[in-house]
A and B are shown apart, each in its own frame.
Chain A
Amino acid sequence: MSRPLLLAERRTRAPLVVLGALLLTIAAAAGVVRTTIADESTAAHASTPPPPTGPRVRWPVAVVELARSLPIQEAGRVMPLAQWARYTLLRLNHRGSVVDSSGRTLEPVEWALDVMFRPEEAAKYEVFLVDTSEVLDAVGYRHADGKKKRDRYSYHDLAPVHRALSQKADTYEGTPDARTRVDPKKRSPVEGGIVALAGNIQTFLDLVHLSYASKFEASLEHVPTLHELFGSAKSVRASDVFAHFDGLRDGVAALTSIFEAAPSLRATDLFWSLGQMRGADPLVQASDVHARLEALRERGGAIPDVRAFRTLALLARAKAFPPFEELRAAGRESGPARARDALALLSAMSEPFDDGRLLSMVPPEGARTSDETWLSPRTMFDRAFTRGGLEPGHLAMLRDLEALSTAAEADDMSAATRALQDFHGRSMARATARGEYEKIGLEVFLLRLEPFFWARLLYLAAFVLVAVTWLWRQRFVVWATWAFVSAGLAIHVLGIVLRCVLHSRPPVTTLYETTLFISAFAVLGFAVLERIHRRGFGLALAPFFGTLGLFVSNRYETISADDPMPQLVAVLDTNFWLATHVTCVTIGYSATLIASGIAHVQVFAQLFGWKKGDADFHRHVTKATYGTLAFALVFSTVGTILGGIWANESWGRFWGWDPKENGALLIVLAQLAVLHGRMGGFLKSQGVALGTIGCGAIVVFSWWGVNLLGVGLHSYGFTAGLWTGLLAFWGIEALVLAAGIFVKRPA
């Protein structure tokens, strides 16, 4: 089995455990293990794809079904692979699907399977969205014909410039005190685009690397010293090595002897951890590290077990690094031939396992309370060292993955199905026993249901019907509008409820969820107002707000492209306050926006002469605006004070003038001003309407604008790039207010 092609383009900041130099060091003297894995220099030349061999067999439905509900641990929780694949693909291409090289549409899980097990194919899919081609110009990309300014590229398209992109991204990201670093908030679109694209390519490669461990195979043909251990086997896979782990202990011992022979390597894990630092190039830091090593040696650092392998590889890579010579000298002298061969085998294996760090897909043994963290290939390898081998369950799962890799390589889909069935079965059994599988099915159901997509579609249809009623007012069209709005709301609310059940949280915990909740509440609110007033404006605005709200939520989800049900930081870990304060404030937002919506009807009616002479209509609009604003005031006020009480309970201050707190206060003050103005008699119907529109603009500031200020405890959402939309909104509202002030009012 040959080394997958994509190895060559890994970024330098990844923990590059390249065995080449190490093997040369140790094996050159002994002429030992020749694994079939190419070293970096070979792989570096292999960045062009092999000639296409025609379309690959599609993953059978059974495999896709199993893969969807495969539990993995990501972002601090156990989720189905389908969820991870969905938001990851969204991050890369801003779409929920991808088209393969033969024009078939793949769902995210199919794409993830291809990337892992058929990377040569996946490298041809155009998954990398580049917002502006200037990003590629900046690294000297030679544009092919037919690409637009904003377009999608395949890994093969970008491979030639990947290294340049990574280097540029590293200089922008750098350590905070690095001179080249560009603050994320101050990055230009091109700089931001470079960082994002480099990150996306890295994610893609990490996913490719995930299956390296299951593809590992080493030939034993020329290694007689290990024949005794592995019998007649001509080659071994990772699972075989782990199964005979005890017999390779002398390899570990040989490693120890190398470290003992070279005392300055004792603290090389420090080097390792520095190499792991974001954006840090181990070579650049070598001189600094050397000084620190000396300091640490004096304190007598212990030799790390498994990290030593990676460290060796890192050192080997850093040929200029002084201890390397020491290592080479020590390697030549160390141990009998068998130990050396064992060491070479383990070192060779450390690399593909080390690369497999992206997903944790193997549940640990035992109860959740004793060990929460799932295993990735990398941590599996680490654990084998700390515990002297893999436990039987993990060994079986590794064998399943190996079988899956082999079958996928050979396009043997029935074998692939069997292998994935076995892996899924074992993973599910263990996750179920740990109480971590019960919600996987529901989450897959939610993903397949796509409630917010359907709700948006139904609202849109309802809005079209509303427009029809303006021209052709028939009772059945009105009823159909009601039916579409109700159906949209039902599936919208169902989506929110399912999310609450999955997350075991109240409906609103993140900025994304505010968009879902506020739009659902607005649709409900308008529907209720329509039932009370029966003047048509509620029914017209309900689908409008529903469509708009879900459009915003969809955009937000696409831009943030992260786990839609993220874990919460410590202070938010309280369902009581999330359910009371957050829900109240959010209802306040929604109700204010509803009131503002109705107030717009009033101003537009005057502007365009709608319902001229229908005093009853205008009376209802005014009453509805006032009533809803009063309702909003109750929730805004109580919600804001509850927020203060929460802060007081959490860290002993009721009010801290934090921007989000101030935003809430601004809403309350604006509402109080309007309602007191009305009570004082100096704001009449028009004044209340215009004041309410102002309140709506303030809600939008508090809801979105405050997050863009980038300060304060509450800035929980990534909302960069929204300024334009907000300014446009406020600009329009300013025009509406101006029109409302100067328009000729009805008698």
Chain B
Amino acid sequence: MRRVLERIVLAFASFHLACTLFVMLLVVVLVGTLEQQHMSLYEVQRKYFSSLFFTTPVPFPGGALLLGLLFLNLTIGGLLRIRWKTATVGVIVVHVGILMLLVGGFVEYRYSQKGFIKLFEAESGDRFRSYDDWDVVIERADPDPKLERQWFVPAERVARATDGRTVRVTAPDLPFDVLLTGYARNADVRPARSSGAGIDGMELVSIASTTLDGEANIPAVVASVVAKGSGAGSARTRGYLLGSDRGYLTHRSGAYAWSAEFEGVSFHLALVRRSWPVPFETRLDRTIGEKHPGTGMFRRFSSFVTVNDGGVSRDVHITMNEPLRWKGMIFYQSGYEIDPERGPTSTFAVVYNPSDRVPIIACSVIGIGMMIHFGLRLLRYLDAESKLRLRRALEASEAAVPAGSTS
């Protein structure tokens, strides 16, 4: 048993595995890059880079699996099994740096929150909104505020209602179930092309999403209200929930949540962008988009904001490459546009990322490690070369003396 374990450890620590992983990652990255001609970055990322396996046309390990294996290989082979001596100091330091990068990447993937906040001049905000997470919210509207209630279906569950799958939303105190189907990340509801198709003469059309962040995407899902435990066939009412930034919007009401009457009580259903609180309030005072003179090309975007944190205000200037960092949140200037009616607006990418500083530290560690390692090797090589040259020169002069003496 111990030998088997040892062999497994050895296999995980081997150069062979390292090289195989590098080559496989190379293939994945190459295919994922080429595929971006035909697929959106978001789809490519999900299919190739954050997956365990993918198939085109043969099954192949995905980026996440390969990076996980690389982590094991690096830890076991590059740190534990490597001989710790002067000659390997640089390599060990480099490996520590790469490990930091991998761990930092994982922490970011798992624990960071990314979204945006869009402000007009003189507007304030203290919540930032997700690019791509849309929750279904069900609200019991009751004249008596005490009886008002909300149920949330998290975006992860909503997004599962695709490829013919049905997601049943049920809760003990919800008097009915909601069945979600036909989720589309970016969609439009249009008049149905053939009569009898869709719901109420409208059909849901999925549109390829073009951006990674998906800020401009409008998702949609089909919701059916059914009696508890019963199937779609017994639906009391069906309709499309279409995501909207302007509050609760469905195709039926135009502006507000889709309402469903159930046993005399009215309920609203809607698909809304998830948002998170920011621990301070930000007000956009002025935003500037400066162009290169005589051209339409932007030279600089910047925003002057006031950060109000618990009654204490301070002025901050956010510009490209110079974000605002405060209380673990980072505000980046990510967009600028002029609304014909409301004037200039700034979009800030808002990020909460516990491993924000890891890459810069890791990069320094890796750089130093590489310099130690290859510097030592170069010195050793030059030293050996000069010794070799000296020896040859000596040999040559020894050979030359008798030749000269004979002439």
Contacts and interface: CB of A to CB of B under 8 A. Distances in A.
Interface stretch (B168-176, B253-261, B349-357): B349-357
A76 B294 contact: yes
B293 A76 contact: yes
Contacts of A659: 33, 36
B13 to A, nearest CB: 11
Given A360-B294, A649-B321, A652-B114, A665 B37 contact: no
A638 B366 contact: yes
Contacts of B300: 570, 573
Nearest to A701: B30
Contacts of B19: 673, 676-677, 680, 682
Interface in A651-673: 651-659, 662-663, 665-666, 669-670, 672-673
A652 B353 contact: yes
Q: Classify the secondary structure of B's interface with A.
A: helix
B367 interface: yes
Interface stretch (A15-23, A126-134, A236-244, A629-637): A629-637
A74 to B, nearest CB: 7
Q: Classify the secondary structure of A's interface with B.
A: helix
Interface in A389-420: none
A429 to B, nearest CB: 20
A666 B26 contact: yes
A113 B142 CA distance: 80
Contact of A669 (B29, B41, B114): B29
B152 interface: no
Interface string A12-51: 0000000000000000000000000000000000000000
A679 B299 CA distance: 48
A669 B359 contact: no
A482 interface: no
Contacts of B356: 648
Interface residues of B, number: 61
A592 B362 CA distance: 23
A680 B101 contact: no
A635 to B, nearest CB: 9
A676 B359 contact: no
A677 B294 CA distance: 55
Contact of B367 (A634, A656, A658, A680): A634
Interface stretch (B275-283, B374-382, B398-406): B374-382
B330 A570 contact: no
Contacts of B30: 662, 666
B363 A641 contact: yes
Interface stretch (A266-274, A328-336, A705-713): A705-713
Contact of A652 (B25, B349, B367, B378): B349
Contacts of B16: 680, 682
B44 interface: yes
Interface string A183-207: 0000000000000000000000000
B293 A710 contact: no
Contacts of A367: none
Contacts of A426: none
B134 interface: no
Nearest to B45: A657
Contacts, number: 160
A709 B374 CA distance: 35
Interface string B15-51: 1101100110110011011101100010011000100
B54 interface: no
A677 B16 CA distance: 7
A663 B30 CA distance: 8
A641 B362 CA distance: 9
Interface residues of A, number: 62
A645 B15 CA distance: 29
B334 A651 contact: yes
B370 A638 contact: yes
A532 B383 CA distance: 11
A567 B297 contact: yes
A481 interface: no
B33 A706 contact: yes
Contact of A373 (B33, B293, B321, B362): B293
A385 interface: no
B370 A633 contact: yes
Contacts of B34: 709
Contacts of A373: 293-294
A623 interface: yes
Contacts of A627: 377-378, 381
A650 interface: yes
Contacts of A681: 15
A75 to B, nearest CB: 7
B359 A645 contact: yes
A285 interface: no
Contact of B25 (A77, A574, A669): A669
Nearest to B78: A676
A93 interface: no
B153 interface: no
A641 B15 CA distance: 23
Contacts of A712: 36
Interface in A596-655: 623, 627, 630-631, 633-634, 637-638, 641-642, 644-646, 648-655
A482 to B, nearest CB: 20
Contacts of A662: 29-30, 32-33
B25 A680 contact: no
A374 interface: yes
A570 B374 contact: no
A673 B20 CA distance: 8
Nearest to A654: B359
B298 interface: yes
Interface in A56-110: 73-77
A747 interface: no
Contact of A573 (B41, B105, B320, B351): B320
A441 B327 CA distance: 51
A651 B334 CA distance: 6
B5 interface: no
Nearest to A672: B22
B312 interface: no
B12 interface: no
A571 interface: yes
Contacts of B212: 656-657
A577 interface: yes
Contacts of A76: 291-295, 297, 299
Contact of A634 (B114, B294, B374): B374
A567 B114 contact: no
Contacts of A706: 33
Given A645-B360, A650-B321, A652-B351, A657 B32 contact: yes
Contacts of B294: 73-74, 76, 360, 373-374
9 nearest CB pairs, A to B:
A680-B15, A76-B292, A673-B22, A652-B351, A372-B293, A641-B363, A662-B33, A76-B295, A634-B370
20 contacts: A73-B293, A76-B291, A76-B292, A76-B293, A372-B293, A570-B298, A573-B299, A574-B320, A630-B374, A630-B377, A637-B366, A652-B332, A652-B350, A655-B105, A657-B45, A659-B33, A669-B25, A673-B26, A677-B19, A680-B16
Interface of A: 73-77, 360, 372-374, 532, 567-571, 573-574, 577, 623, 627, 630-631, 633-634, 637-638, 641-642, 644-646, 648-659, 662-663, 665-666, 669-670, 672-673, 676-677, 679-682, 706, 709-712
Given A373-B294, A569-B298, 20 more contacts: A73-B293, A76-B299, A374-B294, A569-B299, A571-B321, A573-B320, A573-B321, A574-B320, A634-B370, A646-B321, A651-B334, A652-B350, A652-B351, A658-B41, A662-B33, A673-B26, A676-B18, A680-B14, A711-B36, A712-B36
Interface of B: 14-16, 18-19, 22-23, 25-26, 29-30, 32-34, 36-37, 41, 44-45, 49, 101, 104-105, 108, 114, 212, 291-295, 297-301, 320-321, 323, 330, 332, 334, 349-351, 353, 356, 359-360, 362-363, 366-367, 370-371, 374, 377-378, 381-382, 385
